[in-house]
Structure 1
């Protein structure tokens, strides 16, 4: 059976023995919005679980519009013109509005990248700034964690009177789904961002695609400290075209968006596989982002342990912004290190790399992980505990994996990083 999967902006072909191939586990075709501007406006005018913009916007209020960075496919340049026009219509003054790029702990966006992200006209009209996560002079204390660690957030967000979060709803390995109150970690200090991931890394289950998780519940409690007055969340088709939009309260609108997202992105698993071949699309930026495809693909494998995942990814920027990450992905003692970090002990190293590495370490111990692509090296993947093949050896990677299982069953996925898999008979 000849199949093809995305590799960045290209398609790459491969063959799977006919007797082994279960099929493609991809969501059914979703219809993109016929009039995206109308769909965005309709969601803004009919918020879920919260007040309308006209009820919370006044001329004297300083407004921060918080948007995600270029690692996400959210159509920011399509949403902002509609949103900003509505803010002005409701009485907001242009000079009181700024746009903040929520980086989390990702690298700072360049001016050209920010201009492309928001659109040229908006970039020229409104201040557009990166959030801050490292410079203590630009962070503001907002409270403490349950262990007494300080919570810090970007000053350019905290000095606003009204905060509006814009993001996209896709499955997430820590929060279950993105969107909603997740704009808070996006504008928090690096140590605060790091707090979520260590907590999550102590759980053994794959939380990708859960409607909510213990970490999301904790995060939504923290959002009350900083205030998130309105959200706009998109649901895109697998081809990244705008499909649906929800807006309103960061909890109520989010949950409705998740319900819709499961229907749009959901794929039914009719038979479990020994080997699943998965493209990282659209999380192709680096090995910090692309393993989301492994979380998305894992439910397609048999049992709680065993089986092989072959991830195809260009990883354009290599390992990504946390070079210590491979070391901790390869370790088996991560829980002890993470608990020490949470307890405030002086543990050397990048705490976010420790936490995410610990989560991936657990997946590495559950499943055999194979990475195919030219953006990372065999040495780097070996350091992570993954088997590696260059793109030119993709077919060899598949043949080797199939040979390991008697009566091998193989499935494939076109976009694992944004997949929601559910079993036969499971209600979504």
Structure 2
């Protein structure tokens, strides 16, 4: 028996010497073919441009795009959007791109966008810093103070470009999220993410998800006009493209996402092997950790979890790593976190600890073993040896998740 699992930009072939059945938990096969040609309905944009008080040549357009941690096919989305803007009379020097870093460290390397040099030579790409160039708008109904990138907010036309997929506590990515979180101030992001403590702040929950509803309010007050979003399959091929007002985009996309990525599972397992899904989902452990939120739903009471993630860029958060290393047991993380102010970065350690107090967690990665052990996780050297050790047990139920970050198990326990 052999399994091929994504690891960075490559695949790992896992040979399993076992007569037992190993269940593969993966997104459903799509009933549509990947789009060979992107066709975007630009009618909403044309109407917007013509309804503005300014002439097209006077209008400033702000386009929010994600950083390198998100698998968005910008080389196929940005060119047609820019062409349409220019054809409508928007000047090149009036089109600005905003890299929605959120609390991530800005990175000047934009090669991940895979755009022609024309774009970097003729347009401005601005790196968002969650501590600078902010303007205060108001509070949401959840009490979140909205601090937003000032220059983006002042644009005449505000567009968000990204992908839509399940998100482990915001319900879904896409829509206004690139702006509401990616271009927000640190205080805004912190207050929004603190809502993850609510029981409905989970993957594939929208209207009851406080994190997501807060994101929607932030986006509305920020004045995001349009969202250009795509849905991709597990191999990152584009299946659908939507370009409309953000809430309309989400209304179209959510039923498709749920059908693709929510998977009914009728049993629990002693061992779950979960690949984060390759680059960029496993670019660092901070991102790959999202796989744990989904994989843990499949575990028996004493089940074990093996995460497969290259983590080429290390842990990914000094705040996360510095916080975890203060403790010797996951229960200490939980107790400390629940009895103090919410801090971004530490929240990932808290989510991880809630799994670790119930299950043993292993990690196969490129991280140095001492660093992995500092996370209270056991490092693994050889996948086949590890797998066969577990599969030798007559009673072991084993599952493999090739795309754990975007596979949402639906079990009888929820």
With the shorter chain as reference, the TM-score category is 0.7 to 0.9
1:125 aligns with 2:122: yes
1:208 aligns with 2:203: yes
SS of aligned partner of 1:140: strand
Using the TM superposition, give the Cα deviation of residue 338 of structure 1 relative to its aligned residue in structure 2, in angstroms. Answer: 5.2
Q: Deviations over 1:56-80 (max 9, x none)?
A: 5552332101011111111112111
Is 2:324–2:333's contact at 8 Å kept on the other side of the alignment?
A: no
1: CA distance between counterparts of 2:119 and 2:164?
Answer: 24
Deviates more, 1:379-388 or 1:213-222: 379-388
1:308 aligns with 2:304: yes
Change (3 A) 1:112 1:80: closer
How many residues matched? Answer: 401
SS of aligned partner of 1:417: coil
SS of aligned partner of 1:314: coil
Is 1:52–1:248's contact at 8 Å kept on the other side of the alignment?
A: no
Deviates more, 1:92-101 or 1:64-73: 92-101
1:169 aligns with 2:164: yes
Is 1:3–1:15's contact at 8 Å kept on the other side of the alignment?
A: yes
Matches within 5 A, 1:19-418: 19-30=19-30, 31-38=32-39, 41-42=40-41, 44-45=42-43, 52-54=47-49, 56=51, 58-59=55-56, 60-113=58-111, 116-135=113-132, 138-144=133-139, 150-183=145-178, 184-200=180-196, 202-203=197-198, 207-212=202-207, 213-282=209-278, 283-302=281-300, 305-322=301-318, 323-327=321-325, 330-334=330-334, 337=337, 340-341=340-341, 351-374=343-366, 376-390=367-381, 393-402=382-391, 407-418=395-406
1: CA distance between counterparts of 2:46 and 2:336?
Answer: 45
Using the TM superposition, give the Cα deviation of residue 371 of structure 1 relative to its aligned residue in structure 2, in angstroms. Answer: 0.8
Counterpart of 1:419 (choices 387, 401, 407) is: 407
Deviates more, 1:279-288 or 1:56-65: 56-65
Q: Which runs of 5 or more structure 1 residues have no equivalent in the other structure?
A: 343-350
Change (3 A) 1:410 1:17: farther
1:10 aligns with 2:10: yes
| Cα-Cα RMSD | 2.8
Q: Which runs of 5 or more structure 2 residues have no equivalent in the other structure?
A: none
Change (3 A) 1:386 1:400: farther
Change (3 A) 1:25 1:337: closer
Deviates more, 1:262-271 or 1:185-194: 262-271
Change (3 A) 1:19 1:203: farther
Using the TM superposition, give the Cα deviation of residue 325 of structure 1 relative to its aligned residue in structure 2, in angstroms. Answer: 4.8
Change (3 A) 1:51 1:81: closer
2: CA distance between counterparts of 1:68 and 1:290?
Answer: 17
> Could you tell me the TM-score, scaled by structure 1's length?
0.84
Is 2:27–2:262's contact at 8 Å kept on the other side of the alignment?
A: yes
2: CA distance between counterparts of 1:203 and 1:17?
Answer: 43
